[in-house]
Amino acid sequence: MTGKLVLAILLTAAGLALAPTPGRAAGILRFGQNAADIGSLDPHFATGTQDRSLVDMVFNGLVRYKPGDGSVFEPDLAPSLPAPKTEGGKQTWTFQLRKGVQCHAADGVPAYELTSEDVVYSLQKSADKNRSAYAADYTGMTVEAPDAQTVKITLDKPLSPVLFFPKVANYSGGFIVCKRAAEKLGAAGLKTRPVGTGPFMFKSYSPQERVQLVANPAYFRGKPQLDGIDFRYMPDLSSRELALRNGQLEVINGAPDKAWVDKMKGVAAVKVDVFGVGEVAVLNLRTTAPPLDKVEVRKAIAHALDREEFQALFGRGIAENVYSPVPARFLPGGLTREELAPKGLDYPTDREKAKKLLAQAGFPNGFPLEMNTSEMTSYRVLYESMQAQLAKVGIHVNVRMVDHSTMHSLIRKDANPLVIYIAWRPNADVYLTQFFHSDSIVVTGKKPNTNFAHYDKIDDLIERARVETDAAKQVALWKQAQLRILEDMVAYPIQYQNQVYARSAAVDYGHDLVSVLALYPGITEKTRLLK
Amino acid sequence: MVRYVAQRLLFSIPVFLGVVTIVFFVVRVIPGDPATAALGDYASKEAVEALRQRMGLEAPLPVQYLRFLGDLLRGDLGVSLITGASIREQITHALPYTLELTVVAILIGSVLGIPIGVHTAIRRNRLADYVGRVLSLTGLSVPAFYLGILLILLLAIRFQWLPAVGGGGRDDLAETARHLVLPALTLGLVMTASVARLTRSAMLNVLGQDYVRTARAKGLREAVVRLRHALRSALIPIVSITGIWAVSLVGDSVTVEVVFARPGLGKMMVGAILQRDYTALQSIMVVYTAFVVAINLATDLIYGWVDPRIRH
């Protein structure tokens, strides 16, 4: 009797378990993100890829990066890109707003038409260090609303379009929040309840599990073709991959590894996308740390390294060699190998030359170095490869592995004489200012940031380029600054690492993928699921 | 029995308090800064410092500890340092996923493991015994997360019978059950291996005892001898070790929840570690501690019930 009862229970459970999956709502795109949870959905605090991609779907900027191609600016909330004017000795940019753009409805705040009041509120929020992680980018900027449809921005120092538009584009501090909702929700509420004007509206958040978005039927570019997005937080790559193969997800973060890419390309009905923007890995050499204070030693290190060996760690296509700190592939102001090779500033691998330079500097037998790396694969393998390559010329590097945020803390305390740093920055000015302006020197700078090299020889070039409004002259100044960096060998550019995503063949993003600043493929009103 | 239960309950209190104290300080020893983790490497030093202030991380550790104990006594688990979401609500949401998983896994482990152990003991040194031993050794050697991936490849990808990841909606019983099968089977099979091995050796010990021979000599049926006389005695170490295994199952559930992207406490804990979310992490550890203390308490009580000598 008992046996029969157990059998009946087991059969019922099995039947229940193997019952067909109820159909999901048509047109919901399920996205597996490489993260444990959101960080913040307040766009002005959204710094992780998982947050940047979500806010990209919910908010707009005055202008936007063309979907799939971050090198082109397009109109967004403003129907056209303005030209700057000079008023009272100061540069001004005046934007007209599109009519009829609706802020999403939020808890207790009905949908309403976006006005210049919202834009002013939003840009002032971006400039406030207590309400934004990007406040430093908005100093010296005054925002006014002459009328409901006009926004006037006055700059203390003039900027070229290349440097100004990113401040008001759909990225970082340029996202426009809706004032009424932001005030109602407060800082804490905004973290988990984004309210913008974008193609998708927030529906729900389940901590550590998912965020659900629904299509915004009133979107000013037309109703999105998808019904919504189901954004799942899955930090484990194998889980994401298996869920994609099983048909439970349509898009996943992949691995920056050619073997993984090749494997996934072999899976039926799955497509792999490898695209920019590439985060640039640069080796920074601290010029104040003996024996690296001798330029011969720094050049010896550069000649001892081989970009091809670094590239082989990830595979061609996933990683590409880079020859200047600003990547020429994605940003104006970068230098190509062809521009540098005649001057020898591409530092071709020549280990005999490296040994001679070390001998000239008084280190014929090399020397030891101590440093720390992050446990993250993208960092760890670069440090390990550098360790093996430098050993060939007698430089013995002892690498200690720490967790990622500890590495960030340590390198900002000068713990590493050699710092490999992987980062994307939106333009040449930010790259050069943060990594090579004397104000940004770690520990001792006026505004310590990421100048690990303790370099102070190109402040003038950086500052002149920043206020140069002639695009060609500005690019020439940036290039000149980087030639100096390479001549002094304070930074050895290694490679840029592309983004890798896999998707069901049924997903059509609605645009070609060249480069996306938010480091995800970009989901817009045109993205659709094919039958 | 009542005195025994009260005694075990009282012993659990200092254990619980000791563990949560260790948890509080260990969580803060983890390298890394929540403000940096939250804002990323692009944020300026000023923005990071402003966030640290708002997170309350500037207060001295003893002050933070006393606040934590006070909040705990009031049942207040606080809010996430990163998202500001209520941790009590998050745990309330996640706990059922972990409870279902461990309870069903323990059931699978016991329901499969004990009969297999008994059977292989009775069939000692015969084919069934060899097969059982090889399988249980294999089960003990395979990490739970790896077995999970193999099961996904077979049952979710190859045959498409079951979902590969997720927890299913709480409002749909069939979906919940479907999402539970693979992770519970993964943990259950790992536990089955150890329970089967242990049951086999306990049964072998008992089957050679004089009282078993006496029972047989009295003419009792073999099934009665094995189940009522031998298995009853063998259950004492089995219960004890099953309790220990249930505790380690809680640990295994963390990796299994991550592999299956199951929104339980384990996945929540890994997320809190990655984000340096101290308040969430310590609260989850408190719940895990309560979980382990409760399992140990239950083991002690069952032990006392199975073997009355222990109560004295």
- Cβ <8 Å between A136 and B37: no
Q: What is the pLDDT of residue B307?
A: 72
pLDDT tens for A165-216 read 999 999 999 999 999 999 999 988 999 999 999 999 999 998 888 999 999 9
Residue of A nearest to B273 (CA): A36
- Tracing tokens 């014929």 back to the chain, one arrives at A364
| β-strands A395-402, A367-374 pairing | parallel
Q: What is the pLDDT of residue B11?
A: 82
Q: How confident is the model at residue A406 (pLDDT cuts 50, 70, 90)?
A: confident
Closest CA of chain A from B120, distance in Å: 20
Q: What is the pLDDT of residue A7?
A: 46
Spell out which residues of chain B touch residue A205, defining contact as CB-CB under 8 Å.
85
- Cβ <8 Å between B167 and A209: yes
Q: What is the pLDDT of residue B29?
A: 74
User: What span, in angstroms and rounded, lies between the C-alpha atoms of B153 and B55?
Assistant: 43
Q: Between A499 and B223, whose confidence is greater?
A: A499
User: What span, in angstroms and rounded, lies between the C-alpha atoms of A418 and A416?
Assistant: 5
Q: What is the pLDDT of residue A12?
A: 47
Query: Which of A209, A242, A406 has its CB closest to that of B157?
Result: A242
Residue A15 corresponds to which tokens in the numbers above? 């039947």
User: What span, in angstroms and rounded, lies between the C-alpha atoms of A52 and A333?
Assistant: 25
Q: How confident is the model at residue A5 (pLDDT cuts 50, 70, 90)?
A: very low
| B125 Ramachandran zone, left/alpha/beta (phi>0; psi -120 to 50) | left
Beta strands in chain B (DSSP E): none
Sign of the dihedral through C-alpha A461, A467, A473, A476: positive
Q: What is the pLDDT of residue B64?
A: 84
Maximum C-alpha span of chain A:
96
Instruction: Say whether pLDDT at A240 is over 80.
Output: yes
Q: What is the pLDDT of residue A105?
A: 96
pLDDT tens for A460-488 read 999 999 999 899 999 999 999 999 999 99
* Top-ranked range on mean pLDDT: pick from A19-23, A511-515, B299-303: A511-515
Q: Mean pLDDT, to the nearest integer, of A3-26?
A: 46
User: What span, in angstroms and rounded, lies between the C-alpha atoms of B71 and B64?
Assistant: 10
DSSP A81: P
User: What span, in angstroms and rounded, lies between the C-alpha atoms of A167 and B140?
Assistant: 57
Residue A405 corresponds to which tokens in the numbers above? 């945020």
Instruction: Say whether pLDDT at A327 is over 60.
Output: yes
Which are the contacts of A56, defined by CB distance < 8 A and separation ≥ 6?
A: A170, A171, A198, A518, A520, A522, A523
Instruction: Say whether pLDDT at A315 is over 70.
Output: yes
Closest CA of chain A from B264, distance in Å: 9
Q: What is the pLDDT of residue A454?
A: 98
- Cβ <8 Å between A209 and B165: no
Best of B54, B95, B267 to substitute, by most chain A Cβ atoms within 10 angstroms, is: B267
Closest CA of chain A from B115, distance in Å: 13
Flag residues of chain B having pLDDT under 50: none
Instruction: Say whether pLDDT at A83 is over 50.
Output: yes
Query: Which of B44, B90, B276 has its CB closest to that of A207?
Result: B90
Q: How confident is the model at residue A6 (pLDDT cuts 50, 70, 90)?
A: very low
Query: Which of B41, B152, B177 has its CB closest to that of A242?
Result: B152
Spell out which residues of chain A touch residue B177, defining contact as CB-CB under 8 Å.
13, 16-17
Residue type for position A462: I
pLDDT tens for A143-171 read 999 999 999 999 999 999 989 999 999 99
Q: How confident is the model at residue A18 (pLDDT cuts 50, 70, 90)?
A: very low
Q: What is the pLDDT of residue B43?
A: 67
Q: Are A79 and A228 in contact (CB under 8 A)?
A: no
User: What letters, b where the CB count within 10 A reaches 16 and e where it falls short, cover A97-114?
Assistant: bbeebbbbbbeebebeeb
Q: Are B160 and B148 in contact (CB under 8 A)?
A: no
Spell out which residues of chain A touch residue B257, defining contact as CB-CB under 8 Å.
none
Residue of A nearest to B180 (CA): A17
pTM for this one?
A: 0.82
Best of B30, B44, B53 to substitute, by most chain A Cβ atoms within 10 angstroms, is: B44
Return the HEC string of A413-463. Answer: CCCCCEEEEEECCCCHHHHHHHHHCHHHECCCCCCCCCECCCCCCCHHHHH
User: What span, in angstroms and rounded, lies between the C-alpha atoms of A389 and A62?
Assistant: 47
Average pLDDT, chain A: 92
Q: Mean pLDDT, to the nearest integer, of A234-240?
A: 90
A277: cis peptide before it, omega within 30°? yes
ipTM: 0.73
- Cβ <8 Å between B93 and A239: no
Maximum C-alpha span of chain B:
85
Spell out which residues of chain B touch residue A129, defining contact as CB-CB under 8 Å.
44, 46-47, 50
Residue of B nearest to A189 (CA): B84
Q: Mean pLDDT, to the nearest integer, of A375-398?
A: 94
Q: Are A371 and A418 in contact (CB under 8 A)?
A: yes
Q: Mean pLDDT, to the nearest integer, of A131-152?
A: 94
Query: Which of A133, A208, A403 has its CB closest to that of B47?
Result: A133
Residue A111 CA: distances (Å) to CA of A99, A283, A388, A401, B272: 14, 49, 59, 50, 35
Best of B28, B83, B262 to substitute, by most chain A Cβ atoms within 10 angstroms, is: B83
Phi, psi of B201 (to 5 degrees): -70, -35
